[in-house]
Every structure is written in structure tokens, then in C-alpha cells.
Amino acid sequence: MSPETAEPDPRRWRALAVTLTAGFMSLLDVSIVNVALPSIQRGLGASTAGVQWVVSGYALAFGLVLVSGGRLGDALGRRRMFLIALSAFVLTSALAGAAVNESMLVIARLLQGMAAGMLTPQNSGLIQELFSGAERGRAFGAFGTTVSLSTAVGPVLGGVIIALFGAESGWRWVFFVNVPIGVLAFVLALRLLPKAPKRSVPLRSQLDFVGVVLLGVTVLGVLFPLVRSEQDGWGVLWWMPPVAVVFAVGFVWWERRLVRRGGSPLLDVRLFTATPGYATGATIGTVYFAGFAGIWLVFALFFQQGLGYTPLESGLVVTPFALGAAVSALLAGRLVARLGRVLTLTGLCLVAVGLGAVGVIAPLVSPHVTGFAVVFPLLVAGFGGGMVISPNTTLTLERVPTRMAGVAGGALQTGQRIGSAIGIALLASVFHVGIDSAGGYPTGLRWAMLSAVAIVLVALVLAVLDLRRRPHRTPQPKTRTVRVS
């Protein structure tokens, strides 16, 4: 029976809730640890370089395995890969919480990042598999809410956990909290996620080990200098991006060769050249994350170092962004089938206006009221942000074949990780240059926000070009379903 006439899985929304819960944990761990770094230093006597690796090592490992994790989900079945990756994430979270020294914690975080990178692509793959038509937009709306909340809520939740369990050992519970939630998600996933059909070909023939190595070196050559730029500078690692370009060319050549010979590539490059909307959508997502992700580090530095806020107070100030994004992502998910790229354009405009207003207002008001003065602009920016992530994900993946859903989602999120790393490095550098000027922290914030706006406007131009290529969007017809006996 064809997918168009098959009865939708009645457990699909419950299954989505379980996978998004696990995805929320993995994405949350990118940002939640930032506020725990002083606690880690006190508790373990860790060096500054060591605690920075706790953050950057996770982000690096996370980005390295996204595409491979997506491909394994396509080959092994997304249910099986989800359960394997979730088990690994729970175990490595427990290992990180129980760390007795700096080295053990860094190793645990590297392994935890790899587990998260394997877990995350299964979310978008399962949405492609379980949902269709307008329902798929709603599901990606929930996914967009998860991404937005996980990024913005991390500092607040981390501050709460540290406050509850103390500065000496509170950092351990930042990791331990994943364990009971992960175990519950695993049990529910066993019951709710659909099993994949049996493979008709050996697994080994579906795995591209040469592609894994070539792409891994490529992503490493891009991400490693970016995540280490604030600590090591650019001079030491200047040679890695050129090496990444060489391996990227080799990767494209190898994947095309494998396709011509009828093999199973890690990432079929026809995804970018022959799938309408995918390349443009992936580029928009990468550029937007470059402007979006870096603002959280700037806000943390400005409010904590510049104004003397506690980590919890700093996190609460940016909560309006998360609330706005959560609401608008759900609304956008319902409207994307009808409005399409117009939603992305509207969202990008609101993000630019909101962040621009923060950059103008914050340096002009008294430090005592800065937190209150930026509430409304951040709410506007957050409302716009929720209208960017979920519609763009839906539009980017809507024409991707289901058999490639995992690797397509992994590649999309790899671009987002690279964009995030670029944005963090760039905005942090601009912020520090502004601080070193006569204006101090207020000038640093203004320059960083205006830089973020400039990046968002680049994404806006790309979205306009994409809209001109497909100016009209016809509502998708409702598919007739019949019950399978």
C-alpha cells in the first residue's frame, strides 16, 4: 500500500513528544554547561583550558558526527539508532556527572557530544517518516520550539540547578539530571517508535567508511579552529581551514564516484543539486545560526561581567526571547503549508528589528534598568526567531525522499553547527573589540548586536531570492486515508 493511502501511525504525536524530549536534552547541553564552568573549576580544581574544553569539546564532537548519525539512522532504522544513541547519551551524562578529575570530565563530554550528534538527526528523520502534508509542518513547528527553547533556557536552568545544589557540586547535577529523563524516554521510545522493515542488503554495503573519514576531517578542519579561536587565536590553527577545503573537494569527488558505481554514499551530493529548495534552505539556516547563536555568549558576558548580574539573573533577562520563539514556532508550524517562505522573511525582519533595538537601547539606559529595557525587543526578536527555524526546516526537507531523511537532517544541522561556531567566534571578537574601545561594555554590546543584525540580513536576502524562485504556494491537498486491516 502506498504511503499516500496508508493510515498514519496513531502513536505518532506521542512518539514525537518522546523524541523531542531526548532532543531537547542533547541540544540543552550545548548551552547549559556555560553557567556551570565556575562551579566545575571550584569542584575539580580544573584549569581554564580544561573547562573550556568541557564546552568546546562537546560542540566539536556533536558537529562531527551529525551526518554519519543521520546516515546510520537511514541504514539501521531510526528507532534502533535513536535507542542506541539515547542509551549512550544517558551513560555519558552519568560519567560526566561522576567525573573525579578534569581529564575524565573532558573525555566524558567528548563522548556525550558524539552520542548527542548521533541522536539529533533521528528527530528530523522520524518527522519525515511519521508525518506528511500540513501535519509535517506542525511537527517541525514543535521541533523548532525545542531548538529555540533549548538554546535560550540553558543558562536559566543551569543557574537554577547550581543555586539548588550549591556552587561546589551543583555542576554534577547539570549532567545527572539527564539520567532519569533519558531512562524514561528510552522506555517510552521502546513502546512508541515504529520498527523499521528488515534490511534486504547487508549493512556493511550501505556504509561509506571513506566518506566518513573525508567528511570528518573536513568538518574538523572548519569547526576546531572556530571553537578554539577565543582561547588559541587564529594564528596557531591557520592551516586547518585550507586542509578542510582539500578534503571537502576529495569528499565530493568520492561521493559522486560512489553514486556512479551504484554504491551507497554517506551524503549523496544530489541532495544539494537535484532536490528543490534543499541547498538554499540549508544555506539560510547556516547563515541565520551564525547571527543567532553568538548573541547568547555576548549577553552572558555583558550582563555578568559588565553589569554584575548572577548567572541566573543573566539567564532570566534573555528568557523573553525563548518565550517568543516557543509561541511563534508552534504558530508557524501550522501556517507554513499555506504561507511558506513568507514566514521566514517575516521572522528574519523581526529578529533584525529586535536585536537592532537591543543594540541601540541597552547602551543608552542606566545599568540598573537595562534588564527591563531589553525585555520587549528580545520578545520581538524571539517571536521572529521561532518563525525562522521551524518553517525553514520544513521547507528545506519537504522534498527530500524519506530514505534520505536522516542524512538530510544531519547535513542541515551540521551547517547550523558550523554557522553557530562562526557566529560565536565573530560576535565574541567584535564584542571584545568594542570593550577595548573608549565605550567599554555598552559599545561592545552595540557592535555585537549590529553585527548579528548584518548577518541576519544576509539570510533575509537569501530568503527573498528563494521566494522569487517560488513566488506562489498552493495549499497541500488533504490526503485520503484508509484503514489498514
Tens-digit pLDDT profile for residues 142-168: 887 787 777 667 777 887 888 888 877
| CA–CA gap between residue 306 and residue 288 (Å, rounded) | 26
484 — pLDDT class (breaks 50, 70, 90): very low
> Mean pLDDT over residues 111-122, rounded?
92
> Mean pLDDT over residues 113-130, rounded?
89
| CA–CA gap between residue 205 and residue 382 (Å, rounded) | 45
Contact between residue 104 and residue 71 where contact means Cβ atoms under 8 Å apart: no
230 — pLDDT class (breaks 50, 70, 90): low
Confidence (pLDDT) at 200: 63
Residue type, 484: V
Confidence (pLDDT) at 3: 44
DSSP characters over 75-140: HH-HHHHHHHHHHHHHHHHHHHHT--SHHHHHHHHHHHHHHHHHHHHHHHHHHHHH--HHHHHHHH
Confidence (pLDDT) at 383: 94
Q: What is the C-alpha R_g of the chain?
A: 22
204 — pLDDT class (breaks 50, 70, 90): low
Q: Please check the confidence at residue 480 and state whether its pLDDT lies above 70.
A: no
Task: Render pLDDT for 232-245 as a digit per residue (tens, 0 to 9).
Answer: 666 677 888 999 99
Highest mean pLDDT among 17-21, 61-65, 375-379, 408-412: 375-379
Confidence (pLDDT) at 161: 85
Task: Render pLDDT for 267-310 as a digit per residue (tens, 0 to 9).
Answer: 888 888 888 889 999 999 999 999 988 888 888 889 988 998 87
118 — pLDDT class (breaks 50, 70, 90): very high
397 — pLDDT class (breaks 50, 70, 90): confident
Q: Please check the confidence at residue 470 and state whether its pLDDT lies above 70.
A: no
For residue 303, the 8-state DSSP code is I
| CA–CA gap between residue 81 and residue 71 (Å, rounded) | 10
CB atoms within 10 A of CB 100: 8
pTM (predicted TM-score) = 0.84
Task: Render pLDDT for 59-97 as a digit per residue (tens, 0 to 9).
Answer: 888 888 999 999 888 888 889 999 999 999 999 999 999
Q: Please check the confidence at residue 392 and state whether its pLDDT lies above 60.
A: yes
Q: Please check the confidence at residue 10 and state whether its pLDDT lies above 70.
A: yes
Mean confidence (pLDDT) of the chain: 85
Task: Render pLDDT for 95-115 as a digit per residue (tens, 0 to 9).
Answer: 999 999 999 999 999 999 999
| Measured distance between the N- and C-terminal CA atoms of the chain, rounded to whole angstroms | 11
Confidence (pLDDT) at 232: 63
- Distances in Å between the Cα of 119 and the Cα atoms of 279, 383, 452 are 23, 27, 29
Nearest to 119 by CA among 149, 145, 81, 148: 81
479 — pLDDT class (breaks 50, 70, 90): very low
| CA–CA gap between residue 137 and residue 18 (Å, rounded) | 18
Contact between residue 290 and residue 423 where contact means Cβ atoms under 8 Å apart: yes
474 — pLDDT class (breaks 50, 70, 90): very low
Give percent of the chain with pLDDT exceeding 70.
Answer: 92
> Mean pLDDT over residues 302-320, rounded?
85
CB within 8 Å of 370: residues ≥ 6 apart: 303, 307, 362
> Mean pLDDT over residues 114-122, rounded?
91
| CA–CA gap between residue 462 and residue 460 (Å, rounded) | 5
Exposed, middle or buried: residue 479 (CB in 10 Å: 0-12, 13-18, 19+)? Answer: middle
Contact between residue 399 and residue 388 where contact means Cβ atoms under 8 Å apart: no
Confidence (pLDDT) at 142: 85
> Mean pLDDT over residues 397-410, rounded?
85
Least confident of 282-286, 364-368, 388-392, 476-480: 476-480
> Mean pLDDT over residues 377-391, rounded?
92
- Superfamily of domain 12-192+266-469 in the CATH hierarchy: MFS general substrate transporter like domains (1.20.1250.20)
129 — pLDDT class (breaks 50, 70, 90): confident
Give percent of the chain with pLDDT exceeding 90.
Answer: 38
| CA–CA gap between residue 341 and residue 417 (Å, rounded) | 22
Confidence (pLDDT) at 201: 63
Residue type, 436: D
Q: Please check the confidence at residue 359 and state whether its pLDDT lies above 90.
A: yes
Confidence (pLDDT) at 478: 45
Nearest to 432 by CA among 451, 417, 416: 451
| Spans of all domains in the chain | 12-192+266-469, 209-265
